[in-house]
Structure 1
Amino acid sequence: MSERVVPAAGRQRRRPTKQGVVLSEELIVATALRLIEEHGADALSVRRLGRALGADPSSLYRYFRHTDDLMLAIADELIGHSMRTWKPTGDWLADLRELGLRMHAGALAHPRAAVLSAHRVTGRAREIQAVESILGVLRRAGFPDPEAVRIYHAFVDQALAFGALDSAGTALPRAAREAEVEVWRSTYGRLPAATHPHIAATSRHLVATMRTSSYPAALDLFLTAARTRLDHVRADQAG
């Protein structure tokens, strides 16, 4: 795509496409998400999107300047999926834990798109609302502004990083995933204590746990550290 997007007021397509649908930003993003999950990053082209929508590829310029503009909209849509039904309860630890798990699950629901978008900053409505909501949870919990930003940054980066990591694993062919899981049993599970005493002592736990994501455990460790930090802040304020 090139730099020739149509202003928002002029975007509405009045006639249906060949498939009988009316183009919209939401429809284009949903179609692009589906194509990425089916075919990978190469699916994000004007020509392929036009075919999938039954529309002239040039009509997509009414909504997006270029494919990277569309990629940012996709990233923002993934954020929206995670935030859509999340409501803070006032228990900041429980609220952040639930949101972190939602972000991780959202990435796994769209693994190829998550890998492509995890590092992007969209500046769009859903991302802005997510930043506002998370900072609000932290500030209401009592974190001073510099600490709130520090915790926000680490929380979001952890969720996005694990989402991308686990999504990359999910996107592997099934045979490859199963072969990697088997390595923990067939290789690590058979190392002798004489040469690898620590692996041998814990091998049954490695076999049991390394097949699943460590994100829930990492999230709990992070939140415990954040709670400890807040306790220190309160102690300093009281002193």
Structure 2
Amino acid sequence: MTEGRVAAGPRRRRRPTKQGVVLSEELIVETALRLMREHGAGALTARRLGAALGADPSALYRYFRGTDDLALAVADELIGRSFAGWRPAGDWRADLRDLGRRMYEGYLAHPQAAALATYRVTGRRHEARAIEAILGVLLGAGFPGREAVRFYHLFVDQALSHAAMDAASAALPREAREAERRVWEETYSGLPAATHPNMAAMAGLLRAEMRNSCYPHALEVFLDAAAACLAGVRRG
């Protein structure tokens, strides 16, 4: 990340569009999120954005170098929304749990955009603030530098990988989601014990478990591992 990229401010169009609005980076990003929510990630094109904004598609290049640059801005906006209003409570486990859930739920609220956002490094202000906040929680808890960075990496990648997988599932057509549900509830639950004894024995538990995301449990496993590491550091 470069300092100029993080600190870059909004640029504005001097004349209103055909719809009477003044273009801004914030308006374009908000419109991009709406288009992806309605039409999927494939809607992120200059032509579609221009039509939705009532502006010539070439006007978008005054604000973004291209659609990839816009995708980074969308990713950074999702991070900003996830962290909006967050304040550390002073309990590192509670703070990380809150941040993890915010990140996960923030991406899941925009599943189509999450497909483009979860694996990107934006180099923008919201991401920089998020990195600073998470490292602050870990360092404040007493993790040494190397462990703080390692657990930062684990924490973020865990939240984003679960968000990406669950967002991809949520973005499927309803028929596809229903078909997957039936696989667990009918196909796998109906396998005979003679050929699949373990699945037959666990059929009821599998049906209940596979309805939901395992991220909340995975987050607690991460926190337990981090606490064990911190306890070892303190004993040492």
Give the structure-2-normalised TM-score: 0.93
- Name 1:117's counterpart in structure 2: 117
Q: What secondary structure does 1:23 align onto? A: coil
Alignment-derived partner of residue 103 in structure 2: 103
The residue that corresponds to 1:128 in the other structure is: 128
Aligned to 1:22: 22
Letter paired with 1:73: A
1:181-237 Cα deviation digits (max 9, x unpaired): 11112122122333322222211011011011111111111111111111111111x
Q: Distance in 2 between matches of 1:184 and 1:103?
A: 28
Q: How do residues 34-183 of structure 1 correspond to structure 2 at under 5 angstroms?
A: 34-183=34-183
CA distance in 2, matches of 1:82, 1:10: 21
Aligned equivalents of 2:79, 2:223: Cα separation in 1: 21
* Cα RMSD for the two superposed structures: 1.4
Partners of 1:165 and 1:10 lie apart in 2 by 32
Q: Give a deviation string over 1:104-153, Cα, whole Å, max 9, x none.
A: 11111110110111110011000000000000000000100000000000
Contact kept, 8 Å, 1:19 with 1:54, in 2: the verdict is yes
Distance 1:106 1:9, change over 3 A: closer
For 1:209, the aligned partner's letter is E
How many Å separate the matches in 2 of 1:9 and 1:90?
A: 32
Cα distance in 2, alignment partners of residues 12 and 37 from structure 1: 25
By how many angstroms is 1:10 displaced? 9.4
Other-structure match for 1:4: none
Contact 2:10–2:24 (CA under 8 A) maintained in structure 1: no
Query: Aligned to 2:120, what secondary structure does the other structure show?
Result: coil
Cα distance in structure 1, aligned partners of 2:198 and 2:214: 20
TM-score by length of 1: 0.92
Would you say how many aligned residue pairs link Structure 1 and Structure 2? Answer: 229
The yes-or-no answer on 1:196 pairing with 2:178 is: no
Q: Distance in 1 between matches of 2:117 and 2:203?
A: 35
Q: Tell me how far 1:175 sits from its aligned partner.
A: 1.3
Q: Deviations over 1:69-115 (max 9, x none)?
A: 11110010010010002111111101111111111111111101101
Task: Say if 1:10 and 1:62, in contact at 8 Å, map to a contact too.
Answer: no
Cα distance in 1, alignment partners of residues 104 and 11 from structure 2: 33
Q: CA-to-partner distance for each residue in 1:4-52, whole Å, 9 max, x for gaps?
A: xxxx789322222111211110000000111122222321111111110
SS class of match (2:212): coil
Structure 2 gaps of 5+ residues are 1-7
Letter of the structure 1 residue corresponding to residue 229 of structure 2: R
Identical pairs, percent: 66
Distance in 1 between the 2:9 and 2:201 partners?
Answer: 66
Deviation at 1:161, TM superposition (A): 0.4
Q: Does the CA contact (< 8 Å) of 2:12 and 2:25 recur in 1?
A: no
Q: Please list every run of at least 4 consecutive aligned residues from structure 1 whose deviation after the TM superposition is greater than 6 angstroms.
A: none
